[in-house]
Amino acid sequence: MKITAGKQGFQTLNEQVREKLSHFDEIEIEDVNGQRYIGAAMDKGKTVRVYGTPGNDMGAYLSGGKIEVFGNAQEAVGNTMGGGEIIIHGHTGDTLGYAMRDGEIYVRNRAGSRAGIHMKEFENMHPTVVIGGITGAFLAEYMAGGTLIVLGLGREKGQEIVGAHCATGMHGGKIYIRGEIPQNNLSENINVSELNEAETAELYKCVKKYCELFKEDEEYVLKEKFYKLSPSSSRPYANLYTKN
């Protein structure tokens, strides 16, 4: 089932999308440019394929559905998503996976600043974000849980894999980085360590999926050593204002 977005606003487009999804499990939206909230709160069993550049908050509150973008996405992809899958065959803007609680996001190329800001996990909910390229400043700001993987593929000379203030305020979850981490960009209170067996298994599973999705060479990606970033404390600012 196909819909053409064209120049229509986000309200009429999303009304159409919801109407079609009540009859079909899979739809395609063509000629998308800037319309917000596509696939918001979509349930399990539903798939939307987006051609073009979807607007902000794509897949917000996603609730088990699948969104695949053939193009670039903008800000706040998967904002507060609680499950499902988002695949982006391009790059994304800022605040990717904002406060995401569960589900998976795979981005072929780079992500803007604040990817994984305030991701969180709870009991058996565990969000995962895999970014193929580099990321901007404030990666994983206030991260509270889940797994974030940055591969840094296709980097130009001199480009750093993560921007400044990486993991500022991080107090839970894990980040796996492919290769050396620029120390100056790393926030205080963050430990850099090697991956244990369970973590390596988790990483391999995600890298395998990334390579299948985007036709990358798995062997090449895994040839480089990965490092884990984790918070040294679950309360990094506990003593900022008062000693307690």
Contact set with other proteins (CB under 8 A): 9-10, 33-34, 36, 52-53, 55-56, 72, 74-75, 93-94, 112-114, 136-138, 163-165, 184
Least gap, CB of 176 to other proteins (angstroms)? 23
Provide long-range contacts, Cβ within 8 A and 24+ apart, for 77-81: 77/105, 78/103, 78/105, 81/105, 81/127
Q: How many CB atoms lie within 10 A of CB 48?
A: 24
Length of the chain: 244
Least gap, CB of 8 to other proteins (angstroms)? 12
- Nearer residue to other proteins within complex by CB, 5 or 203: 5
Least gap, CB of 37 to other proteins (angstroms)? 10
Q: How many CB atoms lie within 10 A of CB 132?
A: 25
- Nearer residue to other proteins within complex by CB, 100 or 186: 186
Residue type for position 141: E
- Nearer residue to other proteins within complex by CB, 8 or 200: 8
Least gap, CB of 147 to other proteins (angstroms)? 24
Instruction: Check: CB of residue 43 under 8 Å from CB of residue 62.
Output: no
Least gap, CB of 74 to other proteins (angstroms)? 6
List strand residue ranges (DSSP E) for 63-131, in order.
63-70, 82-88, 102-107, 128-131
- Nearer residue to other proteins within complex by CB, 36 or 178: 36
- Nearer residue to other proteins within complex by CB, 75 or 102: 75
Instruction: Check: CB of residue 50 under 8 Å from CB of residue 31.
Output: no
- Angle, vertex CA 111, rays to CA 44 and CA 94, nearest 5: 85
Least gap, CB of 32 to other proteins (angstroms)? 8
- Where helices occur in the chain by DSSP H, the ranges are 10-21, 197-214, 218-223
- Nearer residue to other proteins within complex by CB, 16 or 53: 53
- Nearer residue to other proteins within complex by CB, 128 or 187: 187
Residue type for position 62: L
Least gap, CB of 90 to other proteins (angstroms)? 10
User: 130 pairs with which residues across the strands?
Assistant: 106, 149
Rounded Cα distance between 37 and 39, Å, is 6
Name the residue among 139, 53, 135, 43 with its Cα closest to residue 90. 53
